[in-house]
């Protein structure tokens, strides 16, 4: 495994990030443990989670699963670059707490971090990410909270998720004014079928040395061989099938191209993202061991310029970066 720096930081991570959103709701604890063990064995050292994963308000189910996995020892915690997130509702339904609902107040960030550390059974979070922008809170207040956590050794680096290009610029400019490192990563939806981040987020990240961590890199399964008959999971839902029919022509051309080059659609979609030097590591969210092991050779896949051009023809994106994409 060839590791790379996360953005402009000195932190080295694998070119694939293990997403854990399925752990709990769709993947049992035992299977989750096995997937995490296998990921480390394969050289994947970058794990992503969030306090809200598990989707039972205030419970932090997925973080707790990871924490119990860490307690097995064997250097598991030391070998993992752990990323989690703060923003979503984490107050309990029977004990509403207006200051622990959605948002990024200093109080919320510091309290949420303490609770995540407890669930994860660790002393520190390598990458603490804002799960969404909160424009009701001053940027200076947000950085003040992160500064406290960094000085306490509870957080090593800070990242964003679902930020606009101007949010990334604003946060990094204010961080510089406060003599802080600022954002080193941005977790955005980015895939062949959704390339809107190329308009302003990608150039902002490139300018500020922020590594992109694409979520939904396979468009919820659309780019993973969606035309094959599926009877289980998300691909069996009515909404998914409607989306497939809407984009059938594109998907057919895409899957035909993948067959021509002898690679699976899922691996081509991931390899295409890694062609972009601003991308650090797409998030793969396996439900099964097979889905994990099937992706491990992606960093070794080298797409030719001819293939990349054909992919651009099938999925053209927003037309480039702003403002050239829409103005002279």
CB contact at 8 A, 25 and 54: yes
How high is the pLDDT of residue 97? 87
**Residue 182: left (phi > 0), alpha (psi -120 to 50), or beta?**
left
Q: Which residues are tagged catalytic?
A: 53
In DSSP notation, 238-261 reads: HHHHHHHHHTHHHHHHHHHHHHHH
Q: Could you read off the pLDDT of 35-49 as tens digits, one per residue?
A: 999 999 999 999 999
Mean pLDDT of the chain: 95
**From CA 109, how far away is CA 84, in angstroms rounded?**
12
**From CA 68, how far away is CA 54, in angstroms rounded?**
15
**From CA 16, how far away is CA 3, in angstroms rounded?**
9
Q: Which helix (H) or strand (E) holds 150?
A: helix 139-151
CB contact at 8 A, 95 and 138: no
Can you give the pTM of this predicted structure?
Answer: 0.95
Judging by DSSP bridges, how do beta strands 211-212 and 12-13 pair with one another? unpaired
**From CA 195, how far away is CA 116, in angstroms rounded?**
32
* SS3 at position 67: helix
**From CA 229, how far away is CA 241, in angstroms rounded?**
10
**From CA 126, how far away is CA 10, in angstroms rounded?**
12
CB contact at 8 A, 167 and 160: yes
CB contact at 8 A, 158 and 9: no
Tokens read off for 101: 């609902």
Other C-beta atoms closer than 10 Å to the C-beta of 90 total: 21
Q: Domains for the chain: give ranges and CATH numbers.
A: 4-221+269-300 (3.20.20.100)
**From CA 196, how far away is CA 186, in angstroms rounded?**
14
How high is the pLDDT of residue 30? 97
CB contact at 8 A, 246 and 252: no
**From CA 194, how far away is CA 223, in angstroms rounded?**
11
Of 228, 216, 215, 223, which Cα lies nearest the Cα of 269?
223
**From CA 116, how far away is CA 84, in angstroms rounded?**
8
Tell me how far the alpha carbon of residue 34 is from its chain's centroid: 21
Strand partners, 284: 18
Tell me how far the alpha carbon of residue 287 is from its chain's centroid: 16
Q: Which helix (H) or strand (E) holds 65?
A: helix 61-70
How high is the pLDDT of residue 96? 83
Distance between start and end Cα atoms, the chain: 43
Task: Give residue for tokens 């969210």.
Answer: 285
Residues 6+ apart with CB under 8 A from 264: 224, 225, 258, 294
How high is the pLDDT of residue 118? 98
- Segments of the chain with pLDDT less than 70: 229-236
């Amino acid at each position: 495994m060839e590791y790379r720096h996360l953005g402009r930081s000195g932190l080295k991570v694998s070119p694939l990030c293990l997403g854990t959103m399925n752990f709990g709701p769709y993947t049992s604890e035992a299977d989750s443990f096995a997937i995490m063990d296998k990921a480390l064995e394969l050289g994947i050292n970058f794990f992503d989670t969030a306090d809200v994963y598990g989707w039972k308000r205030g419970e932090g189910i997925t973080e707790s699963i990871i924490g119990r996995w860490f307690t097995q020892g064997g250097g598991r915690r030391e070998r993992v670059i752990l990323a989690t997130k703060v923003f979503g509702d984490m107050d309990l339904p029977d004990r509403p707490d207006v200051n622990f609902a959605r948002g990024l107040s200093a109080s919320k960030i510091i309290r949420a971090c303490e609770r995540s550390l407890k669930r994860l059974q660790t002393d520190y979070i390598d990458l603490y990410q804002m799960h969404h922008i909160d424009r009701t809170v001053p940027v200076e207040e947000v950085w003040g909270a992160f500064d406290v956590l960094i000085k306490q050794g509870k957080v090593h680096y800070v990242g964003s998720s679902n930020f606009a290009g101007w949010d990334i610029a604003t946060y990094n400019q204010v961080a510089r004014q406060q003599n802080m490192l600022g954002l080193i990563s941005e977790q955005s939806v980015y895939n062949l079928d959704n390339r809107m981040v190329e308009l302003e987020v990608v150039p902002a990240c490139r300018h500020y040395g922020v590594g992109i961590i694409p979520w939904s890199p396979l468009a919820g399964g659309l780019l993973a061989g969606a035309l094959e008959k599926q009877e289980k999971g998300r691909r069996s839902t009515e909404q998914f099938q409607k989306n497939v029919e809407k984009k059938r022509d594109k998907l057919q051309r895409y899957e035909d191209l993948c067959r021509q080059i002898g690679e699976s659609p899922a691996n081509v979609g991931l390899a295409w993202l890694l062609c972009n030097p601003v991308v650090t590591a797409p998030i793969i969210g396996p439900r099964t061991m097979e889905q994990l092991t099937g992706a491990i050779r992606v960093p070794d896949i080298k797409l030719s310029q001819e293939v990349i051009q054909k992919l651009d023809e099938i999925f053209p994106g927003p037309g480039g970066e702003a403002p050239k994409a829409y103005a002279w």
